[in-house]
Amino acid sequence: MKLKQTALLVALTCCISTAFAADEAKSTYDTSDGSCSAAKVVYEYKPDSLFRVNVQMGYVTDIALKPGETITYLGAGDTKRWLIDQSSVGSTSHIYIKPLAKNIATNMIINTNQRTYRLYLVSVTSNYTPIVEFSFPDEAFQKMMSRPLPWKSKEEKLFYDIYMEKKDGAYALKKLNRKYKVKKHGKLEKTLYPAEIFDDGTRTYILMPQSNKYDLPVLYNVDYENKMTLVNYRIKNGYIIADRVFRKARLCYTPKTYLDILPSDVLYGGAEN
């Protein structure tokens, strides 16, 4: 049951990470791309994008940065027709923008000790944006995934070891190749067939059935001349794990009883293969 719960968590994590990856950044985000809450627009921060800010004569717009950031540079393309000021409230830096003319536009760059914000300022005659803030879902997701995932049993840890890998501080499902088939030689009951056969591009995993705890086969590599070489492998919780991928492998139960493992065009189906 615990292993099933873990698998469900992993699948959900994979879906979430895919959703983040699928959200390609736009060159410019309009106010309609942000989420509105009361009088403010909240943009999802993208490091290489511009964010439009609608401002209006006679009104001041408040740009609130992420708490804890310190402004290191503040610049605009047109500084003669815009009033720009800055302050801080607690640990949050604020930038105040006010246009001195109608129907003008410019850009603004804000550097902090953590990131760069790029704004596209437009002076409108109505419906200006009083407050602009930013959210950071990508950073929150990466931070969540960089934390060590707890496992409560050896089985759960084995699941992470075999099916997942850590890249750039985040866990992700491995890309597994399950396209294998077996060819029987001699009299061999199907109850002794591997339950699973797959590789991750580096290692090959062969899961033996729980009913076979004592008569485990020996794993060999078979070369192009049909010569067998004993493979260095280990057995962990029923998995035969070899640190290589095979063109042809052989599970020998006896000298005359063995299974050849070969690449296939279809997924391995166990004893029904």
Q: For the segment 161-199, what is each residue's pLDDT rounded down to a tens digit?
A: 888 887 776 778 889 999 999 999 999 888 889 999 999
**Rg for the chain, CA atoms, rounded:** 30
Domain 26-142's class? Answer: mainly beta
Average pLDDT for residues 95-103, to the nearest whole number? 96
- Mean pLDDT (whole number) for 226-237: 92
**How confident is the model over 19-32, as a mean pLDDT?**
71
- Lowest-confidence pick of 25-29, 136-140, 170-174: 136-140
Residue 91 has pLDDT above 70, yes or no: yes
pLDDT at residue 269, as a whole number = 83
Length of the chain: 273
Neighbours of 62 (CB within 10 A): 17
How high is the pLDDT of residue 5?
A: 47
- Computed over every residue of the chain, the mean pLDDT equals 85
Closest to 206 (Cα-Cα) out of 217, 214, 222: 217
Residues of the chain with CATH 2.60.40.10: 26-142
The domain over range 178-261 is classified in CATH as 2.60.40.2500:
yes
The residue among 12 and 268 whose pLDDT is bigger is 268
Determine the average pLDDT of the residues in 222-249.
93
Rounded Cα distance, 93 and 63, in Å: 8
Which DSSP helix (H) or strand (E) runs through 162? helix 154-163
User: What integer pLDDT is reported at residue 11 of this predicted model?
Assistant: 45
Between 159 and 230, where is the model more confident? 230
Q: How many CB atoms lie within 10 A of CB 250?
A: 23
pTM of the model: 0.47
Average pLDDT over residues 37-51: 90
User: Would you say residue 83 has pLDDT above 60?
Assistant: yes
How many C-beta atoms lie closer than 10 Å to residue 12's C-beta?
10
- pLDDT classification of 13: cutoffs 50, 70, 90: very low
pLDDT interval class at 36 (50, 70, 90): confident
The pLDDT, as a whole number, for residue 142 is 61
Q: Delimit the CATH 2.60.40.2500 region(s) of the chain.
A: 178-261
Query: Is-contact 141 17, C-beta < 8 A?
Result: yes
pLDDT in tens, 104-129: 999 999 999 999 999 999 999 999 99
Nearest to 179 by CA among 240, 259, 265: 265
Q: What is the pLDDT of residue 100?
A: 96
pLDDT at position 167 is 76
Backbone angles phi, psi at 265, to 5 degrees: -90, -10
Are 10 and 173 within 8 A, CB to CB?
Answer: yes
| Strand ranges (E), 19-169 | 28-29, 35-37, 40-44, 50-56, 61-64, 71-76, 82-89, 92-99, 105-112, 116-124, 131-135, 164-167
Give residue 73's pLDDT: 96
